[in-house]
Structure formats: structure tokens, C-alpha cells
Chains A and B, each alone.
Chain A
């Protein structure tokens, strides 16, 4: 299994600002994923981030709003840009584990935009 940490664990931000969320893994992994979980909703995949290539965004998510960096095999960042109250959510980082469909999740970053 992989141990994943995220920073910050929570934050309160003003609308129009940006927040960068960090995800650190204790082992080298090829595939990392970023999810959003809005209040009362399920986890929605934002993008898949592979080291050395551009992130692949899911329908409804764009790079200008959610730029992602993946500088090495143990680290990634997700930036939530020009935030609005609708961006208030839990943001989760995960990595692919052994076994198809297996993912290990970080503890999440709880974001509140005022």
C-alpha cells in the first residue's frame, strides 16, 4: 500500500484567490488522481496526472481552472484558481495501487470559499 499526505488539510479562502494543494506519496507511483467531493455528492474525478506528461482532465474540468503539476513520481499539486463559493469542497489525491481499480487515497483537503 501507499501512504499519502496532503497539505493543507483545510483552508478558508476568499473568492477570486487561488489555492495550491500538495500531495506527497511515500513511494514512487506512475498514476496519480485528483478528485473533488462536493457537499452531499460523490467523488468526481478531476484529472489523472502522470509524471512527465500533461494531466488528462475529465469532462467539465479545464486546466485553466485546475492546473496540475507532477514534477516527480512522489509528488503532485492541484491549484484551484480564481475560486468561487461553488469550489467549496473536499479535494482528494489518490494513487493507483496493485490490482486493477485499486486506489489509495489521501486524507483530503477541505476547502471553504467565502
Chain B
């Protein structure tokens, strides 16, 4: 069975500080990892995918198979980054089903 663990419920930083949201996973096959974000009063949306190797809104995430991690990083946090962040893993089978972590609330203070 696959599992996604986000150890921090809340991460509070000051504007301009580096941010790292942790995500660890358990999966027997070759994983596909994602970060989803939910801003206040908005719906959940995709932030980035590991297969795209992209940087979105200054965020990056590298899949580390040795450590089974997919941490989300940003060198300089902005107040508008405050949101709920969910790490997700694509399940097995033929569907695009996702297993989500419990989420980490990021609060960026001025």
C-alpha cells in the first residue's frame, strides 16, 4: 500500500526566509509525486509534478528515491505563499488516482 507522510501540520516563517515543506512516501513501485495547494477560500489545485521538473511560483521539488522524499522548497517565501500544501502520490492501476498526505499549513508573516 502507498502512503504519504507530511510530518508538519504547520510551518510558520517570515517573509524572505527559505521554506521547505517535507514529504515522505512509501511505495513499492516507481513513484509519481505531486504537490497540490489550497489558498484561502480557493479550491485545491495542482502546484507541480516531479516528472515535469518545473519551478512554479518559485517552488521546486526533487524526488529523492533513496530517502523516499519529495520535499517542496522555495528560497525566499512571500506572504502570498501562505496556504495549505498537500503532497500526493499517484496510485497503481490504470486510473489517475492519488493518495494525499495530511497537508502542511504554511504561514508567511511580514
Spot the interface stretch: A41-49, A67-75, A77-85: A41-49
Q: Decide: B43 and A31 in contact? CB cutoff 8 A.
A: no
Shortest Cβ gap from B106 to chain A (Å): 16
User: How long is the Cα–Cα vector from A104 to B42 in the complex, in angstroms?
Assistant: 12
- What mask results when residues 72 to 112 of chain A are scored 1 for a CB within 8 Å of chain B, else 0? 00000000000000000000101011011111111110000
The number of chain B residues touching the other chain, given as a range, is: 20 to 34
Q: Does residue A66 face the partner (Cβ distance < 8 Å to B)? A: no
Main secondary structure of the interface of A (DSSP, over half): strand
User: How long is the Cα–Cα vector from A106 to B38 in the complex, in angstroms?
Assistant: 12
Q: Decide: A101 and B43 in contact? CB cutoff 8 A.
A: no
Chain A CB within 10 Å — which of B32, B44, B51, B95 has the most? Answer: B44
Chain A residue, CB-CB nearest to B89:
A101
Q: Decide: B88 and A101 in contact? CB cutoff 8 A.
A: yes
**Which chain A residues numbered 3 to 44 have a C-beta less than 8 Å away from chain B?**
4, 31, 33, 40-44
Q: Decide: A100 and B100 in contact? CB cutoff 8 A.
A: no
Q: Decide: B98 and A106 in contact? CB cutoff 8 A.
A: no
Kindly identify which residue among A33, A106, A107, A108 contacts B97, using a CB–CB cutoff of 8 Å. A33
Interface residues, chain A, CB within 8 Å of chain B?
Answer: 4, 31, 33, 40-45, 48, 56, 92, 94, 96-97, 99-108
Pull 23 A–B residue pairs with CB atoms less than 8 Å apart, ordered by A.
Answer: A4-B43, A31-B96, A40-B102, A41-B102, A42-B4, A42-B100, A42-B101, A43-B98, A43-B100, A45-B97, A48-B97, A100-B51, A100-B90, A100-B96, A101-B34, A101-B49, A102-B34, A102-B96, A104-B45, A105-B43, A105-B45, A107-B43, A108-B43
Given contacts A40-B102, A103-B46, A103-B98, 14 further A-B pairs with CB under 8 A are: A4-B43, A42-B101, A42-B102, A42-B103, A43-B44, A43-B100, A97-B46, A101-B49, A101-B90, A101-B98, A102-B49, A102-B96, A103-B96, A107-B43
